[in-house]
C-alpha cells in the first residue's frame, strides 16, 4: 500500500475535516457503533469518503505499531494542507510570528507531542533539521492528535543556517538551556520569536546554541533536572503568548 496511513480518531478526523478528498479509503472496526464512531462515519458519508468495515487483524495490519482505536485512513501520499518550506515561513514573518525549532528530537512521539503543543500555543510552524530528527509518520501523526494537519512541519538542510535566515527577517531566537542565567520569565518575548529546544538530556547542539540571541532556563522546583521536550516547549510558547496578551492589554 503506497498511500499515507493515518490511525486514530484525532488524526483521521482532522484529515477528514481539512482534506477529505485526499482520503482514498476509511477502514473502521466492524460492529463498532458508539457515538464517536457514528459522528466520524457521518462526516465521512457527507464528504463522500469510502468506508470499509474490517476486522481487528486488518486494522492492525494497516496501522502497524500505532494504536488505531478502530479507525485507519489511507490517504494520497504526500497530500497535506499544511505543506510548507522555509521560504514560506520567511515570507510570512510579522509582529505575531511564533515558531518552534527542534534540534535533535528523534523520537516520533515527542515530535508529535511538540506539534500538538505548537498548535495549542498558536505557533505558525515547527522547524526541524532533515538529519537528526524524526520525520512525519503515522506515529508522529497519532501523537500530534490532529495537529499534523494544522501546523507545518518544515525540514531544513541546515538548522543553524535557517536560524540566521530567520534572524535576517527580524525574528529573534531564544534557546532553552538548563544552565542559562536568566529564566524564561525574565525575557521580553513580545516580538517576532522562534524558540529553539533540544532533545531531553542532550539539549541544543553547539552551532544551534551559538545562533540564539538569548538562552533561558525553565526554573525547576522539584528533584527532576529536565523536562520532556514537548512540556518544555509548552512552557516557553505559552509564556510568550502570556506576555503578548499582557502587552496588548496595557
**Could you give all domains of the chain from N- to C-terminal order, each with its CATH number?**
4-75 (3.30.1330.30), 86-249 (3.40.1280.10)
Q: Mean pLDDT in the chain?
A: 90
pTM of the predicted protein model: 0.73
Distance, C-alpha 198 to centroid of its chain: 15
Q: Do residues 112 and 148 make contact, with C-beta atoms less than 8 angstroms apart? A: yes
For residue 80, pLDDT over 60 is answered with no
**Confidence (pLDDT) at 83:** 58
In the beta sheet, which residues pair with residue 194?
Answer: 99, 173
In terms of phi and psi (left: phi > 0; alpha: psi -120 to 50; beta: otherwise), the region of 218 is beta
**Confidence (pLDDT) at 100:** 98
Write the DSSP symbol of residue 149.
Answer: G
Over residues 213-225, the pLDDT tens digits come to: 999 999 999 888 8
**CB-CB neighbours of 148 under 10 Å:** 29
Q: What is the mean pLDDT of residues 79-106?
A: 84
Name the pLDDT band for 79 (thresholds 50, 70, 90).
very low
Name the pLDDT band for 5 (thresholds 50, 70, 90).
confident
Amino acid at each position: 500500500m503506497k498511500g499515507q496511513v493515518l490511525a486514530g480518531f484525532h488524526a483521521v478526523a482532522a484529515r477528514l475535516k481539512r482534506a477529505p478528498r485526499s482520503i482514498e479509503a476509511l477502514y473502521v472496526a466492524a460492529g463498532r457503533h458508539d457515538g464517536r464512531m457514528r459522528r466520524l462515519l457521518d462526516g465521512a458519508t457527507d464528504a463522500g469518503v469510502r468506508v470499509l468495515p474490517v476486522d481487528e487483524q486488518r486494522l492492525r495490519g494497516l496501522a502497524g505499531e500505532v494504536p488505531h482505536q478502530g479507525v485507519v485512513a489511507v490517504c494520497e501520499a504526500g497530500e497535506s494542507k499544511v505543506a510548507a518550506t522555509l521560504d514560506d515561513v520567511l515570507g510570512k514573518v510579522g509582529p505575531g510570528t511564533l515558531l518552534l525549532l527542534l534540534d535533535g528530537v528523534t523520537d516520533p512521539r515527542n515530535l508529535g507531542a511538540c506539534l500538538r503543543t505548537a498548535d495549542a500555543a498558536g505557533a505558525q510552524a515547527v522547524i526541524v533539521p532533515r538529519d537528526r530528527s524524526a520525520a512525519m509518520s503515522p506515529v508522529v501523526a497519532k501523537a500530534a492528535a490532529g495537529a499534523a494537519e494544522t501546523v507545518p512541519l518544515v525540514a531544513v538542510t541546515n538548522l543553524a543556517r535557517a536560524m540566521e535566515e530567520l534572524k535576517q527577517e527580524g525574528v529573534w531566537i531564544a534557546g532553552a538551556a538548563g544552565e542559562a542565567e536568566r529564566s524564561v520569565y525574565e525575557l521580553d518575548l513580545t516580538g517576532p520569536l522562534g524558540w529553539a529546544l533540544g532533545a531531553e538530556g542532550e539539549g541544543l547542539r553547539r552551532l544551534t546554541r551559538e545562533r540564539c540571541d538569548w538562552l533561558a532556563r525553565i526554573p525547576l522546583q522539584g528533584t527532576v533536572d529536565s523536562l520532556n521536550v514537548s512540556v518544555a516547549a509548552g512552557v516557553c510558547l505559552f509564556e510568550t503568548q502570556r506576555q503578548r496578551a499582557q502587552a496588548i492589554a496595557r
